[in-house]
Every structure is written in C-alpha cells, then in structure tokens.
C-alpha cells in the first residue's frame, strides 16, 4: 500500500479547490481587474505562498505589477520594471518557460529587480500568460524564505495562467464584437440619413418639376457617394471576418504585377485626382498566394497611400525581385508620421493624426496586416518626416509547405 504524506494531500486539495474556483471565475467575470485580483488570491492560496502577482507587459516592453496580494503598499499598480531591465519575469519571457528561483539573493541567470530584493523576496516561481499573438505577461508566486517547488506546483500555475489566457481572449473578443457593432451602427447612420434625405428631396423635386438639372445632379451625386461609402464599409467588414477566421484559403499561382495593377485601378476609382507612378520589372513575377487575401492587402495599402497623399497627389509603386521572392514598395506623399502613429498604425480602429480630414473606419491597415500574416508576407513601414511614408511588402514566391490549400 502506497502511503501519501498528509501535507501532500492537503496541498492537492488546496490546488484543486483554487483551480476550480478560478475556472468558474474565468468563465463569468467581466472585469479584468476583478479577475486578476481574485486570480492572485486563489493562486497564493493554492500554493500556500506568501505573495502572488501578475505582471502585465506594457507597450514598449515595460512590466507593470498589475495585480497582487501579500505585497506592501506602493507595489501593486505602481512598480514597473523598465524595458531592458533584468528580472525574474523578464527572464521568463526571454526563455519562454517557467523560472524557479530558490534564492533570489544568489541568482546568477538574471539580475533580480532591486525592489523585490528590498521587500525581502527569497524564492518564487512564474509562468507566462499567453495572448493571441504575444505574451500578455507573467503570473508569479513568491516567498520570503527559501522553498522548493514541485512539478505539481508548476502544473497548477500553468493551469491558472492558461485559464487567465482563455478569459482574456474571451473578454477581448466580446469587447471587439461590441466595438464592431458600435462602429458599424455609427458609420451606417450618417450615409443612410443622407441617402434617404436626398432621395426624398429628389422625389419631391421631380414630382413638382421644380428642380434644375444641376440640383438633380448634385442630389444624385450625394446619393451615389454615400452609397459607395456604405458599400466600402460592408466590404471591409467582410474582409475583416475572413482575415480573422482564416478559413477557406486556397493558394495558387498569381502574377504580382497584374495584382498590383488591379490594386492601383481600384484606388484610382476612389481617388481620381491621384497620379500613380509605376516601376515594374519587364518579366512577370509569379507568387503563390490566396488571390482574395492578396488583393485585400495590396488594395488597402495602395488605397491608403492615395487617400493620405496630401502634400502632392502622387503615389509611387515599385516591384522588384528579391532573393527567394519579391518586394512591393508603395510610397505616398503624406508628409510623414509621428512615432505614436507609426507604433499603432496596424491597430484595429486606429486612425492617424490626419484622420479627421478623411472619412474612414480604421480597419484597412489592420485587415491588411492580419491578411499578410496568413499569407506569410511581411509589412514594414519607412517614415520620411516632412515628406512621405513607404509601405514595404516582402513576398515569398512560394512558402515552405505550400500545397495549394491551407
């Protein structure tokens, strides 16, 4: 008969109770702050630890103590590990695996963050909280004396971090769904109001035979303009759905110069005053890609350049062969952008500092970036302050493992 130590049984029960409670909370709680507060409390109880914390990875690479329990005042919500600084959490993100510390004061794999040494932390263990594409942050428990951590302890912490990841994904999805509905309702209300108002006025004028030819043309032009705006929004939403679902993709041979020409033609229809300068190779360049996604990327990037070329109505588009692929460069005349705009350019719903001058939805570049990821293309942006921005698409002629279907 196998004897199990009483402490092991007690530890198993604590971990089991905590993970069940956290699982229920993760499926129900709508507030991230509340979820994190309860998560660190349950994790500390489950591992019978002195303290626990969640470090959130901030834009730029800093790590903020977003939630915690067992800490003195001035830590939770205030302590931030700067980008490039060493710490147990930074090291975990670097090696992408749990980091166990038996004695923080003698640690030689990284430089302990001074604040935690000052508080008196001696040992601890952490795991990464994953996001959809990048790590969200780190979940960590700490002790003020030396302690050993078992494989069961680490498995428990992994389970807790995975539950947090699922909860964060769900909440992000719900927020984005609600945002899409709000944006769609807002963007549709204005053009539909114009269409209905102009249509009624046009009907009255025709019925009363009181309108001049110029007035009729003006009303019809407004109706067509706003109708096209609705059509572009619906098209963008359909593209967004397809890029997010990543379903039904079919890779086939596609002549790149023809695809870029089609993108230029599309942009020219929307921005008739723009001059497009082409620099294409004489010989065809055949790539292997999903045709619809490729047109989404190329069409949105060229159209975006045409839309924001405010210094001069000119867009330069070049195509060149590279080793193993091709490169498409689309250069506008927008006058350049500041650092904040560059950092957020591919964020969902974000619009640049000149966006107030234009109507748009803040989806085009986000959809293009997501579609590029699915195509295994790479997008970079070169900024020329006071002059221009240039989008650079690096396209492989054929990606590893292409079989015609994805």
pLDDT tens for residues 162-220? 888 888 877 776 666 666 566 566 556 666 777 777 777 777 777 777 667 787 777 77
Report if residue 365 sits inside a domain: yes
Residues 15 and 159 in one domain: yes
Tokens 């997010």 belong to 244
Q: DSSP alpha helices (H): ranges in 31-130? A: 32-46, 88-95, 114-119
Q: How many domains does the chain have?
A: 2
Q: Which residues of the chain have pLDDT under 70?
A: 1-30, 173-191, 210-211, 228-249, 338-364, 398-406
Q: Residue 368's domain spans which residues?
A: 249-406
248-to-7, 83, 108, 237 alpha-carbon distances in Å: 53, 40, 50, 17
Give the integer Cα–Cα distance in Å for 33 and 19.
18
Predicted pLDDT of residue 302 = 92
Give the integer Cα–Cα distance in Å for 404 and 406.
7
Q: Please report, for the domain that includes residue 279, its CATH number.
A: 3.30.565.10
Predicted pLDDT of residue 1 = 41
- Give the 3-state secondary structure of residue 388: strand
Predicted pLDDT of residue 244 = 57
Residues 169 and 22 in one domain: yes
Residues 146 and 294 in one domain: no
Question: In this structure, are strands 286-290 and 251-255 parallel, antiparallel, or unpaired?
Answer: antiparallel
Predicted pLDDT of residue 351 = 52
Report if residue 221 sits inside a domain: no
Give Cα 367 to chain centroid, integer Å: 10
Report if residue 183 sits inside a domain: no
Report if residue 211 sits inside a domain: no
Residues 254 and 168 in one domain: no
Residues 168 and 19 in one domain: yes
Predicted pLDDT of residue 403 = 38
Report if residue 244 sits inside a domain: no
Residues 170 and 288 in one domain: no
Q: Are 44 and 51 in contact (CB under 8 A)?
A: yes
Residues 12 and 148 in one domain: yes
Strand partners, 384: 388
Listed residues 174, 206, 229: the one ending a domain: 174
Listed residues 174, 191, 207: the one ending a domain: 174
Residues 290 and 376 in one domain: yes
Residues 170 and 266 in one domain: no
Report if residue 193 sits inside a domain: no
How deeply is 367 buried, as exposed, middle or buried, from its count of CB atoms within 10 A (0-12, 13-18, 19+)?
Answer: buried
Residues 166 and 254 in one domain: no
Q: Please report, for the domain that includes residue 93, its CATH number.
A: 3.30.450.40
Provide the edge-to-edge strand list for the sheet that holds 325-331. 275-279, 314-322, 325-331, 388-396, 378-384
Reference 291, options 250, 232, 320, 246; nearest CA is 250
Residues 62 and 159 in one domain: yes
Predicted pLDDT of residue 406 = 36
Q: Are 96 and 68 in contact (CB under 8 A)?
A: no
Reference 233, options 172, 294, 191; nearest CA is 191
Listed residues 121, 143, 174: the one ending a domain: 174
Report if residue 294 sits inside a domain: yes
Residues 253 and 344 in one domain: yes
Report if residue 241 sits inside a domain: no
Name the helix (H) or strand (E) containing 291.
Answer: helix 291-307
């Amino acid at each position: 008969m196998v004897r199990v130590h009483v402490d092991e049984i007690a530890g198993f029960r604590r971990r089991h109770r905590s993970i069940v409670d956290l699982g229920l909370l993760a499926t129900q709680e709508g507030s991230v702050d509340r979820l994190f507060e309860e998560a660190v409390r349950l994790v500390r109880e489950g591992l019978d630890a002195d303290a626990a914390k969640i470090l959130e990875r901030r834009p730029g690479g800093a790590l903020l103590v977003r939630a915690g329990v067992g800490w003195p005042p001035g830590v939770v919500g205030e302590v931030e590990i700067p980008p490039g600084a060493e710490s147990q959490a930074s090291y975990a993100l670097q090696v992408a695996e749990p980091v166990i510390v038996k004695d923080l004061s003698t640690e030689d794999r990284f430089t302990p963050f001074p604040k935690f040494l000052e508080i008196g932390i001696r040992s601890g263990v952490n795991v990464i909280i994953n996001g959809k594409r990048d790590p969200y942050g780190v979940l960590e428990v700490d002790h003020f004396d030396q302690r050993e951590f078992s494989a069961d302890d680490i498995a428990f912490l992994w389970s807790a971090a995975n539950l947090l990841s699922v909860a964060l994904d769900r909440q992000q999805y719900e927020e984005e769904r609600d945002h899409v509905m709000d944006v769609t309702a807002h963007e549709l209300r204005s053009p539909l109001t114009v269409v209905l108002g102009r249509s009624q006025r046009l009907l009255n004028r025709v019925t009363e035979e009181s309108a001049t030819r110029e007035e009729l043309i003006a009303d019809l032009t407004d109706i067509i303009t706003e109708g096209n705006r609705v059509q572009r929004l619906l098209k963008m939403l359909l593209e967004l759905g397809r890029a997010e679902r990543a379903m039904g993709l079919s890779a086939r041979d596609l002549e790149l110069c023809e695809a870029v020409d089609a993108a230029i033609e599309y942009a020219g229809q929307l921005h008739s005053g723009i001059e497009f300068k082409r620099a294409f190779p004489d010989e065809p360049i055949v790539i292997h890609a999903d045709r619809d996604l490729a047109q989404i990327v190329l069409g949105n990037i060229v159209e975006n350049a045409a839309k924001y070329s405010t210094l001069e109505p000119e867009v330069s588009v070049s195509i060149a062969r590279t080793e193993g692929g091709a490169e498409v460069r689309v250069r506008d005349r927008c006058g350049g952008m500041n650092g904040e705009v560059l950092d957020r350019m591919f964020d969902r719903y974000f619009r640049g500092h000149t966006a107030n001058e234009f109507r748009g939805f803040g989806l085009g570049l986000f959809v293009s970036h997501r579609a590029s990821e699915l195509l295994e293309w790479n997008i970079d942006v070169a900024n020329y302050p006071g002059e221009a921005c240039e989008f650079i698409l690096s396209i492989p002629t054929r990606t590893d493992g292409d079989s015609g279907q994805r």
